[in-house]
Amino acid sequence: MLFSVLTLLAASQALGAPSPPSSLLQSRLAGPAAYVTTSDLSHKLSAAAAPVQGRGTGGSSTWDLSIDDTASGHKQTLIGFGGSVTDATVTVMNALSADTRSQLIRQLLTSDGADFSFLRHTIASSDLSGPPAYTYDDAGGNADPGLVNFNLGDRGTAMAKMLAAFRGVKAGLTILGSPWSAPGWMKLNRVLTGNADNNSLDPQYYSQYAQLFVKYLQAYKNNGATIDAITLQNEPLNSQGNGHVTMYQSADEAAKVTQQYVGPALRSAGFNTRIWAYDHNTDQPNYPRTVVNGAGAYVDSAAWHCYATNLDWSVLTSFHNAYPDKHQYMTECWTSPQTPWYQSSKNTLGPLQNWAEGSLMWTLGTWTQASDGTFGPYIPGGCSTCRGLFTVDQAAGTYAFTIDYYILSQFSKFMPKGAVILSGTGSYSYGGYQGIQSVASLNPDGTRTVVIENTFGNDVYVTLTTKSGQTWSGNLLAESVTTWILP
């Protein structure tokens, strides 16, 4: 354990970053510690009273939790937490000075801050791109079956270079790429945006669609940005007109295209890039099953979003039970002044409790809020009120973190890549999402992390029992997310 901590410290010093707080290092080595973020941000990853051994003495509101920290309680292994790198993210980061941008990257990806280890990036335009919408082979709207017009363009190149900079700071970073649409000429309606009719791939271009992924992966690799995984289509059941960039893809088509075209094309080109199915909501759980059943040799994971009307993360457990050798991730959940303070914790806890190996918020960065209530950059018809985990004030040349950054950091900073989620009991939410939710991990250094969300408007004294025979207890502030680190 000492070696892993000192290695982390040496890495941060090599970046010219300040050392992690000595109190954190000592807590990892010597005893329990606690950190908390509250809904009013009076506490932001702040040190709190450490849990004590035994039941302790608390207030009038109490709650019991338990975890199985023996081998029988081991579940999935984490790859980490983070956000989506959109064109908006790249635009606002590049508006900062080089020194300020470097500082921000360290606070995102190292123990100086959130220590994110999992990112998703948009392959060409998304709803968080400035206009006009584009892909990497628009060819002026003309068919380009030879893909001779393939080009990352200014925005694609800027994206690749930003991801390369991230890789230069964070070893072991996992990057997922997701497209919002194929080029318009590859679709039956022959347009990129503006028409939801026949808004799907033209089968005569399945081969070109596969080769587009190959060329994209090669171009990013040439720019120093190796991509670990892809999904074939963001939200394949979301087909809209107006300016929003979308494309419909049925589960049967996704299975066929993956099995007969994209999977073989990637392997023939020498890429071991993973393919994840679906990338959409929990209310259509049969979609990724259809893809896995039809293309399981190439698909090793399912990706889920948080937008179902009746959100039910237990469908991930059902998927795991049916396909125990496949992985799962929560790959998109928006954050905004319109979302509750616990948006990033609720939609991380639920997936982790149900076999997800990572969680991503939408999006990583935007501008600060404009006078009309929008953020951006965004495309007409896109998400004008999506707010990043950080925002950039272009006039001042500064950035600021939002509550969603601090809440997500309660996980990412203390549950490292390689941590194993532990089974547990006691989490419960009443109507209106009032309650206590928790998840625990066994970390590579031998410590245990317990993240506990309290959505009650009052403090709660929690007692945690472990199957290994320990009891820990401590106070949770009202409307807070608290992280305990247990030796």
Confidence of residue 241 (pLDDT cuts 50, 70, 90): confident
Q: Is the pLDDT of residue 204 over 70?
A: yes
Q: Is the pLDDT of residue 349 over 80?
A: yes
Helices (H) and strands (E) in the chain, counts: 12, 24
Active site residue 235: yes
Residues 155-191 have pLDDT tens digits of 999 999 999 999 999 989 999 999 999 999 999 999 9
Residues 145-154 have pLDDT tens digits of 999 999 999 9
Q: Could you write out the DSSP letters of every residue in 35-76?
A: EEEETTSSSSSEEEPPPEESS----S-EEEEEE--SGGGEEE
Amino acid sitting at position 268: S
Two structure tokens written together for 6: 């000192």
CA 171 to chain centre: 17
pLDDT at 28: 55
Are the beta carbons of 439 and 484 closer than 8 angstroms? no
Q: How many residues does the chain have?
A: 487
pTM, to two decimals: 0.93
Give the percent of the chain with pLDDT over 70. 94
Query: In whole angstroms, what is the distance from residue 474 CA to residue 32 CA?
Result: 11
Q: What is the mean pLDDT of residues 104-108?
A: 98
Q: Is the pLDDT of residue 259 over 50?
A: yes
Query: In whole angstroms, what is the distance from residue 394 CA to residue 415 CA?
Result: 33
Residues 426-464 have pLDDT tens digits of 999 999 999 999 999 999 999 999 999 999 999 999 999
Residue from 253, 332, 453, 479 carrying the catalytic annotation = 332
End-to-end CA distance of the chain: give it in Å, rounded: 11
Residues 14-62 have pLDDT tens digits of 333 333 444 454 445 579 999 999 999 999 999 999 999 999 888 889 9
Active site residue 332: yes
Query: In whole angstroms, what is the distance from residue 420 CA to residue 434 CA?
Result: 27
Residues 280-325 have pLDDT tens digits of 999 999 999 999 999 999 999 999 999 999 999 999 999 999 999 9
Question: What is the DSSP secondary structure assignment for residue 137, as one 8-state letter?
Answer: -
Q: Could you write out the DSSP letters of every residue in 167-190?
A: HHH-TT-EEEEEES---GGGBTT-
- E runs forming strands in 245-357: 274-281, 299-305, 327-332
Query: In whole angstroms, what is the distance from residue 96 CA to residue 104 CA?
Result: 9
pLDDT at 16: 36
